[in-house]
Amino acid sequence: MKALLRSPFVAAVLGGLVVALSFLALGITGHRTTQPLIEQVPVDIDTTKSSGLTPRAIYMRDAPGVVFVRARVIQQIPSPFELFPRQVSSVSTGAGFLIDRAGDMLTNYHVIAGADPNSGVTVQFGDGAARRAAVVGEDHNNDLAVLKVNMSGVPAASPLMLGDSTTVRVGDPTMAIGNPFGLDRTLTSGIVSALQREIQAPDGFAIDNVIQTDAPLNPGNSGGPLLDAAGRVIGINSQILTAGASDGSVGIGFAVPINTAREILPRLESGRPVTAASR
């Protein structure tokens, strides 16, 4: 028996059995163990603002409710050679969006300021249908205006959902739909870059609590919606900061918060004047 144990072959077999039994005792095999080596702790992620919607899904849902706004503007230009100022006609363009099924739309006041009462304002939907729009309310101090159109024959356009701009935080995703440089229904995206900014309205009045975004905004985006990750309107795109000779986007845009518009919408929709005292 001792001679048998001394055999190199038998010794190798016995050594292999000992190693195999040791591995089995430790629970380590060539197969994946069912017991985790490190306990995983769930990560606490705030999902309250996540809607599961992609930018494409938001665009498909909201873009039909965004319109191309055109206003023929009459300007009085003084002339040293004439007794009365010369009238010069030009076209102002921007964007607007539906806020209800009755045909009320929000836009910037500066988009339609000085519109010719004869030719007025027109809005164009995504299917190419153009409608005359009535200016029913203006707020010069906050650079806002409400237009109204006849919605017959525009079944695909739905009002955009209005969000709550007080819940917006720096770093939140943003999307803008508008008509930059006349390129209708363009989608751009970015984040909220800063809050509590201040910009100047056309009449010199300071607009507070403005949202800053790096979503590219350009001439033609004015009056269009700034959307959150759920496609809700959190602001009305109004101004951009430019540098040098360029009048295009440098990644600093400003939107009037939707809550500012909410406060005065009843007066705007009814055509009553909006003043600082009426807010």
**Catalytically annotated residue among 165, 193, 222, 238:** 222
CA separation for the pair 85, 214 (Å, rounded): 41
pLDDT at 39 over 70: no
pLDDT of residue 91: 85
65-79 pLDDT tens trace: 999 999 988 777 776
**Catalytically annotated residue among 110, 165, 184, 214:** 110
Identify whether the C-beta of residue 157 lies closer than 8 Å to the C-beta of residue 151: yes
118-129 pLDDT tens trace: 778 999 998 888
Average pLDDT, the chain: 81
| Range 42-50 average pLDDT | 46
Q: Which residue has better confidence, 269 or 186?
A: 186
- Which CATH number is associated with domain 160-278? 2.40.10.10
Among 41-45, 178-182, 267-271, the range scoring the smallest mean pLDDT is: 41-45
154-183 pLDDT tens trace: 877 899 999 999 999 999 999 999 999 989
Does 222 qualify as catalytic in the annotation? yes
pLDDT of residue 279: 54
Does 172 qualify as catalytic in the annotation? no
Question: Please, where in the chain does CATH 2.40.10.10 lie?
Answer: 63-148, 160-278
Q: Which residue has better confidence, 48 or 60?
A: 60
**Catalytically annotated residue among 104, 143, 184, 214:** 143
Run of H or E including 268: helix 258-270
Does 31 qualify as catalytic in the annotation? no
Task: State which fold the 63-148 domain adopts.
Answer: Thrombin, subunit H (2.40.10)
Query: In sequence order, what are the beta bridge partners of 22?
Result: none
Q: Which of 247, 40, 261 is nearest to 137 (CA)?
A: 261
CA separation for the pair 109, 251 (Å, rounded): 23
Residue 101: is it exposed, middle or buried by C-beta count within 10 angstroms (0-12/13-18/19+)? Answer: exposed
End-to-end CA distance of the chain: give it in Å, rounded: 106
